[in-house]
Each structure stands twice: as C-alpha cells, then as structure tokens.
C-alpha cells in the first residue's frame, strides 16, 4: 500500500505550509501491506505529532483516509483526503494567529 502522486502532492502542500509556520520540522513515510502512513514530527527524535493514514480496507466504511494524533485518537476520517486534512489546516490558522 502506498500514496499516489496526487495524494502526496496534497499532503506535501500542507506539510510545506506547516514548516513555513514553524509547526513541523520532519516527516516519515511508511508503506506497509495494509496501510500507508505519512507521519509528521516537530523534532526528528520524537514520536510523530500526527499520522495521515490510508487504509483501503476501510474504503466502504468510515473512509479511506484518517488523521491520527500522537495519543492514538482519530481526529478525522473520511473518503476525501483534502477534507480530512482540514482538521490540521485549522491548527495552522490558530498557529498563525
């Protein structure tokens, strides 16, 4: 399982804005059999602040994409990646204000 080019473009666009705001500093990508994960970090040696996950098995249920916080709480789940990532964009708006 992996993210395609269009999905990575959307994710990296958000990542770039968060880096420019000073919120995020590093990322990691994992491609496993059941899930693709894009993890974002404030510092390299820490646990990820958020994980953006793609799980094809959930396509017909809760949705293909999810954003998971550091504590394991699912912040948003859905079928459209841009809609799911809005939960993180709201945090960007608060950080800039």
Q: What is the pLDDT of residue 93?
A: 57
Q: Is residue 97 part of a domain?
A: no
Q: What is the pLDDT of residues 5-47, one digit of tens each?
A: 999 999 999 999 999 888 888 999 999 889 999 999 987 667 8
**pLDDT-based confidence at 89, cuts 50/70/90?**
confident
Q: Is residue 65 part of a domain?
A: yes
Structurally, the chain folds into a number of domains equal to 1
Question: For residue 60, what are the domain limits?
Answer: 5-92
- Span 74-88, average pLDDT: 91
Q: Is residue 44 part of a domain?
A: yes
Rounded distance between C-alpha atoms, residue 77 and residue 74, angstroms = 7
pTM score, whole prediction: 0.84
């Amino acid at each position: 399982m992996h993210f395609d080019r269009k999905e990575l473009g959307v994710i990296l666009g958000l990542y770039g804005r968060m880096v420019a705001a000073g919120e995020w500093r590093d990322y990691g990508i994992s491609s496993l059999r059941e899930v693709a994960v894009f993890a974002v970090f404030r510092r390299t040696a820490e646990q990820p602040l958020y994980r953006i996950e793609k799980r094809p098995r959930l396509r017909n249920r809760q949705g293909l994409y999810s954003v998971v916080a550091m504590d394991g709480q699912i912040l948003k789940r859905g079928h459209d990646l841009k809609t799911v990532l809005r939960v993180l964009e709201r945090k960007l708006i608060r950080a800039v204000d």
